[in-house]
Structure 1
Amino acid sequence: MKIVISKKAKIGNNVKIEEYAIIRDDVEIGNNVVIGSCSKIDNGARISDDVKIHHGAVVSTIPQDLKFKDEYTLLKVGKGTVIREFATLNRSTGVRPETKIGENCLIMAYAHVAHDCIVGNNVIMANSAELGGHVEIGDFVVLGGIVGVHQFSKIGAHAMISALSYVNKDVPPFIVAGKKPIQYEGLNVVGLKRRGFTSERIEKIKSVYDIIYRSKYNVSDALKKIKDSIEPDEDVNLIVNFIETSNRGIIR
């Protein structure tokens, strides 16, 4: 059995490193971490406690970006995240200091997180889901299998993307999106209920999206109607702010 571990790497307590793993110099690994067989943890990796990295995963390799000039950058993986077989996670380019994966995420086999992405907490990326560079994913987002997300796109918290979809615009919070081309399919009611949202809270969110997607209004007029007719709260403000700050425009 052969394991390659740099003497410069900082490794916590109760870390299990399986056969043929490679750990480079500038790596920091927390406590109670599992590094699976044949996996590679490259320079710039910052692995928090209780992370499990499975066979063949490749973490913190250089970005697949021709503009990268070997700047010092990082990839951070939050506590309790699971990275399954042959997933690939790239560190950032220097545009951001780090690519960031949140806590308690599940990144399934063959998924890819590109340079400069920000992935929130409790995110699930199913098999072969792929994030382009600079993508931002909110908390509790679920990406179905073989979902592709275009670079610089944003997906709001609690959204779900159906399998085989291609995301090329921003997806607002709380909704289900899918089909080709990608479009609004309704609220993520099942997910919201699982996370303790009350029926009243869900109905209010639905009333916001009825104005955006089920009326004759364009996006600007829909936002004005929401502000004029719906009492603001945390959820409403989250939706409005997401749309107002969207650079790519939201899916329709």
Structure 2
Amino acid sequence: MASPKIHPTAIVEDGTNLADGVIVGPFSIVGADVTLGEGVELKSHVVVTGRTTVGARTRIFPFASIGHQPQDLKYKGEPSTLTIGSDCLIREGVTLNPGTEGGGIQTTIGNNCAFLANSHVGHDCRVGNNVIFSNNVMLAGHCEIGDFVIIGGGAAVIQFARVGAHAFIGGMSGLEQDLIPYGMALGNRAYLSGLNIVGLQRRGFSRNEIHDLRRAYRLLFAQEGTLLERVEDVAEEFKDHPTVMEIIAFIRAGGKRSMCTPKNGADS
């Protein structure tokens, strides 16, 4: 692997840790506490600062702002961090903020994620692997986003919200509650419109797995009883079904947190 390549117009502060194959493009700025992994490329006009680590082969496009002070008025300069995984795509104008003392002091982003133009990840968020943020997605602070989540253009997620793995949030939606794994949320304010069947099929889930999920979904969001009562019934019936039990574990872990639910009973 070749030595780092730094354009003459770029500024790389003393102390920066650049691995082999890093490319720092024109008019980019890299701060002293930044670590760029093998093959990372900053296209041009990129700023990476703070205690930020960027994983191997991640590509960052012009005017992205990575690792600057979080947008939290309580932030007092504590040594918080931002960690970005490998093979991520960070397009134009994206903003990714580090953590704060009140939220665990770190923001983490997994591998193989795509953040399209002008999307935002707030302080203290935890974003899984293979996540896609479409253009102008707004993720507030302290959110948890599971693996393979897709968020449509212009959608907004409220602070502290949890979004389960393989879920889908439609464009222009406003999510104010937790969204179950494999769920699909639409609208402003968002409601649970069913399961992310297309996503499950694309990722190779079997017909039987999808059938079990659909049956469990209808039982969980039926009209009878409370959600907590239905959770216990479904947990007993589907105790040997890992995908269904993932939803059960997600709901249980939320305690008394509000869940995103269907408008009128369970949809298909």
Calculate the TM-score normalised by the size of structure 1.
Answer: 0.97
Alignment of 1:37-116 (within 5 A): 37-94=44-101, 95-116=103-124
Question: Of 120, 124, 127, which residue of structure 1 is paired with 2:128?
Answer: 120
Alignment of 1:151-190 (within 5 A): 151-190=159-198
- Answer yes or no: is the 8 Å Cα contact 1:165–1:182 preserved in 2: yes
- Answer yes or no: is the 8 Å Cα contact 1:212–1:218 preserved in 2: no
Counterpart CA distance in 1 for 2:113 and 2:237 is 37
> Does the alignment pair 1:249 with 2:258?
yes
Q: How many Å apart are 1:224 and its aligned residue?
A: 2.0
Letter in 2 for 1:250: M
Alignment RMSD, CA only? 1.2
Counterpart CA distance in 1 for 2:235 and 2:19 is 50
Structure 1 residue ranges, 4+ long, deviating more than 3 angstroms after superposition: none
- Structure 1 counterpart of 2:233: 225
- Structure 2 counterpart of 1:147: 155
Q: Which deviations, in whole Å up to 9, do the C-alpha atoms of 1:15-69 show, x marking residues without a partner?
A: 1111110001100011111112111001111011010000110101111111111
Counterpart CA distance in 1 for 2:128 and 2:39 is 22
- Structure 2 counterpart of 1:35: 42
> Does the alignment pair 1:14 with 2:50?
no
> Does the alignment pair 1:238 with 2:251?
no
- Answer yes or no: is the 8 Å Cα contact 2:235–2:245 preserved in 1: no
Q: How many Å apart are 1:213 and its aligned residue?
A: 2.1
Taking only the aligned residue pairs, the percentage that are identical comes to 33
- Structure 1 counterpart of 2:265: none
Counterpart CA distance in 2 for 1:178 and 1:248 is 19
- Unpaired runs of 5+ residues, structure 1, are none
> SS of the counterpart of 1:176?
strand
Q: How many Å apart are 1:4 and its aligned residue?
A: 0.8
- Unpaired runs of 5+ residues, structure 2, are 1-7, 262-268
> Does the alignment pair 1:26 with 2:41?
no
Counterpart CA distance in 1 for 2:86 and 2:235 is 38
Q: How many Å apart are 1:229 and its aligned residue?
A: 2.6
Q: How many Å apart are 1:176 and its aligned residue?
A: 1.0
Letter in 2 for 1:248: R
- Answer yes or no: is the 8 Å Cα contact 2:175–2:188 preserved in 1: no
> SS of the counterpart of 2:66?
strand
Q: How many Å apart are 1:227 and its aligned residue?
A: 2.3
Counterpart CA distance in 2 for 1:230 and 1:141 is 24
Moved more, 173-182 or 160-169: 173-182
